[in-house]
Amino acid sequence: MSTTVNDPGRTGASPRTSRQRLTAAEPYLYLAPGIAIVALVMLVPLVVGVSFSFQNYVIFRPAARGWSGLENYAELWSDRTFWLALANTAKWTFWSVLFQISLGLGLALILEKPFPGRAIFQSLVFLPWAVPTFLSGLNWQWLFNPIVSPLPGMLSAIGMLDEPRNILSDPDLALYGPITAMIWWGVPFFAITLLAALRSVPSDLYEAAAIDGATGWEAFRHITVPFLLPMMTITILLRTVWVANSPELIFVMTGGGPANTSQTLPNYVFTSAYSSMNFGYASALASVLMVLLVFYSIFLLWIRGRLGQ
Amino acid sequence: MRIVTTAGIWLIRFAYLAFALFPLLWLLRIALTPDQLLYTEGTTLWPSVITFENFRYVIEESPFPTYFLNTVIVSLGTAAIVTVLSTGIGYAFSRFRFRGKTALMVFLVITQLFPIVMLITPLYQILAPVGLVDTRIGLVVVFTAFNLPFAAFLMHSFFEGIPRELEQAAMIDGCTRFQALIRIILPLMLPGVGATLGFVFTAAWSELLFSLMLISSEAKKTFAVGLLSFVGRSGVDWGQMMAAATLALIPPAIFFTAIQKYLVGGLTAGAIKG
């Protein structure tokens, strides 16, 4: 490492000015490769994708391709499956994230205090995060099958199901199968970030609270929660967006069925694009999803700003 | 009262453990169950006889070793490149003030909102003319971009945990800034670098949809695609599939177990700033 790219002595121009120019450019040199690849592989396809949503673009009908204005969006407005998928996306995201937060917070609180075997306990309960998403889908699909898994029997024994049957083929319950898999998979991520946040709470605050005679709950309510909230809003924001955008578990476990009852928007986009080959319509669906997520994020950040005051 | 509380806490700990491990245990159980007992003893906790035949078949006779190797190449390649690039971004965000900094940070956050499914077709059309469709390099390029923003936040947070005085002292002693980064800062950040590597490796290992759309030839298939084509085939051999799945869990599980404590530590360092 004796010579480096930004060694100013090696440039031919007058050393002083080139050094200054280099110093000004230096942060961009560190940033450029990464930002360039993100822009090329994410931003450019996004712009192209959004432009598809204003086109008549069905792979089987190349001759009919052309700009069609808001036609795809009008079609979407009167598409029952779209509204169903939208409602399901909200349900899927809400329940998945809600349970991931509460179970993740519980786990983080357990892991914060030392107990015998904590290190091994932590690596075991964090294992689901290492399981590839589609694999946890296949795994849970199998677990919900009453012929090859004891789970439906257990659920009916504790009264959650009327009889041991497969909830994935029940129109009213199918969506809760992938939700369960998503919760199982995502709890460790919340636990990790919340554990990190818990560890950053200065311990002298708890000592002071104990001296003032605060109970454990009061300390949690007035010290832990305010410290966790800023970190939690960011984690919730990221998770909500990832969960809302993720089609894999639905794709693997139910394929959106039976009869679209567990269809969500990302999976509907995927099936519209690759079964019906209607790229224009699929892109319109995806664009709507993105706009909704942008509004959601702005709302959440606005709340975070109010809390910070 | 105290005993009841302690017992209650242990009960909760075991409940978490059971919830986390039961599905994994079931995966292993199916992989070890002989075919003829798969349905007759389907709901018993452990089969009366176990077999390693499924594992033998997957390793010796199926194409899974090739898929496995492809996934290792793609995931390691992605993890290495993302770690290098996110070090650059994290360092720039942490140590410099420059024009457009906030805009770039906002841009990276916004990429997390992009509906990934919409990008598949446009990306295919961009990658095809440059010959990156149906190649492992193409997958590495795509996964690199998708994982970079989060990895950059992670690295930014790790850099914030390292005092600036260290590299300032090194620069007074005659190092260039780049030399100070390589010789002084990065050695201190090894846990953070490891955490980022492991995090990205695990994420790349899981990817399904892009591998499904971008890879068509048998010799380049990743594990996820191979496993899914198993499901699509008529007369799925579940035992073999679950044996393959069990083997596929080993690398990310090892990586993730090795890095999790650094992940928590690194996020703590960054969290202090809020």
pLDDT at A10 over 50: no
pLDDT at A26: 85
CA distance B236 to B242: 11
Asked if residue A115 belongs to a domain, the reply is yes
The two three-digit tokens of residue A75, written as one number: 């079609």
Contact A148 B227 (CB under 8 A): no
State which of A88-92, B58-62, B94-98, B248-252 shows the largest mean pLDDT: A88-92
Contact A126 B123 (CB under 8 A): no
The two three-digit tokens of residue A178, written as one number: 């992938």
Mark which of A31, A50, A69 sits at the end of a domain.
A50
pLDDT at A11 over 70: no
pLDDT at B271 over 70: no
What H or E segment, with its residue span, contains residue A262?
A: none
B129 preceded by a cis bond (ω within 30 of 0)? no
pLDDT at A176 over 90: yes
**Higher-confidence position of A5 and B45:** B45
Contact B23 A139 (CB under 8 A): yes
Q: For chain A, positions 5-24, list CB contacts with chain B under 8 A.
A: 5-7, 24
Averaged over A140-146, what is the pLDDT?
90
Asked if residue A12 belongs to a domain, the reply is no
Query: Is some CB atom of chain B closer than 8 A to the CB atom of A31?
Result: yes
Q: Could you tell me if A250 and A121 lie in one domain?
A: yes
Q: What is the dihedral of CA B258, B253, B157, A233, to 10 degrees?
A: -140
Asked if residue A56 belongs to a domain, the reply is no
pLDDT band, very low/low/confident/very high, at A2 (cuts 50, 70, 90): very low
pLDDT at B272 over 50: no
Q: Could you tell me if A298 and A224 lie in one domain?
A: yes
Asked if residue A62 belongs to a domain, the reply is no
Name the β-bridge partners of A67.
Answer: A55
Maximum alpha-carbon separation in chain B: 75
CA distance B78 to B86: 12
Contact B113 A200 (CB under 8 A): no
Q: Could you tell me if A92 and A185 lie in one domain?
A: yes
CA distance B236 to B230: 6
pLDDT band, very low/low/confident/very high, at A96 (cuts 50, 70, 90): very high
Write the pLDDT tens digit of every residue in B142-194. 999 999 999 998 888 888 888 888 888 888 888 888 888 888 888 888 888 88
Write the pLDDT tens digit of every residue in A290-300. 999 999 988 98
pLDDT band, very low/low/confident/very high, at A58 (cuts 50, 70, 90): confident
For residue B231, the distance in angstroms to the closest alpha carbon of chain A comes to 9
Query: Is some CB atom of chain B closer than 8 A to the CB atom of A193?
Result: yes
CATH number at residue A191: 1.10.3720.10
Residue range of the domain that includes A285 = 79-308
Q: Are B121 and A52 in contact (CB under 8 A)?
A: yes
Is beta strand A55-56 parallel, antiparallel or unpaired with respect to A66-67? antiparallel
Average pLDDT over chain B, rounded to an integer? 86
Asked if residue A143 belongs to a domain, the reply is yes
Q: Could you tell me if A27 and A160 lie in one domain?
A: no
What is the 3-state composition of chain A as percent helix, strand, coil, each rounded to the nearest 5? 75, 0, 25
Residue of A43, A44, A131 to mutate when probing chain B, most B C-beta within 10 A? A131
Contacts of B89 in chain A (CB under 8 A): 30-31, 34-35
Percentage with pLDDT > 90 across chain A: 35
pLDDT at B142: 94
Of A4, A28, A30, Cβ closest to residue B91 = A30
Averaged over B13-24, what is the pLDDT?
93
pLDDT at A308: 62
**Higher-confidence position of A36 and A273:** A36
For residue B240, the distance in angstroms to the closest alpha carbon of chain A comes to 13
Q: What is the dihedral of CA B139, B140, B143, B144, to 10 degrees?
A: -150
pLDDT at B261: 75
State which of A93-102, A161-170, A224-233, B104-113 shows the largest mean pLDDT: A93-102
Q: Could you tell me if A179 and A287 lie in one domain?
A: yes
Asked if residue A89 belongs to a domain, the reply is yes
Amino acid occupying residue B205: W
Question: Residue A115, SS3?
Answer: coil
Write the pLDDT tens digit of every residue in B40-74. 777 777 888 888 888 998 888 888 899 999 999 99
Write the pLDDT tens digit of every residue in A196-216. 888 777 778 788 888 888 887
Averaged over B219-224, what is the pLDDT?
89
pLDDT band, very low/low/confident/very high, at A3 (cuts 50, 70, 90): very low
Q: Could you tell me if A32 and A181 lie in one domain?
A: no
Q: Are A128 and A184 in contact (CB under 8 A)?
A: yes
pLDDT at A144: 92
Contact A132 B252 (CB under 8 A): yes
Please give the interface size between A and B, counted as residue pairs whose CB atoms are below 8 Å apart: 270
Q: Give the number of domains in chain A.
A: 2
Q: Are B239 and B38 in contact (CB under 8 A)?
A: yes
Write the pLDDT tens digit of every residue in A217-248. 888 888 888 777 777 787 888 889 999 999 98
Query: Is some CB atom of chain B closer than 8 A to the CB atom of A44?
Result: yes
Asked if residue A11 belongs to a domain, the reply is no
Averaged over B258-265, what is the pLDDT?
78
Q: Are A133 and B206 in contact (CB under 8 A)?
A: yes
Q: Could you tell me if A36 and A183 lie in one domain?
A: no
Q: Could you tell me if A25 and A123 lie in one domain?
A: no
Asked if residue A69 belongs to a domain, the reply is no
Q: Which domains are delineated in chain B?
A: 1-51 (no CATH), 63-237+246-271 (1.10.3720.10)
Q: Write down the ipTM of this complex.
A: 0.87
Q: Could you tell me if A38 and A187 lie in one domain?
A: no
For residue A172, the distance in angstroms to the closest alpha carbon of chain B comes to 24
Of A31, A107, A142, Cβ closest to residue B104 = A31
Contacts of A298 in chain B (CB under 8 A): none
Question: Residue A55, SS3?
Answer: strand
Contact B119 A128 (CB under 8 A): no
**Higher-confidence position of A227 and B86:** B86
DSSP, res A62:
G
Query: Is some CB atom of chain B closer than 8 A to the CB atom of A93?
Result: no
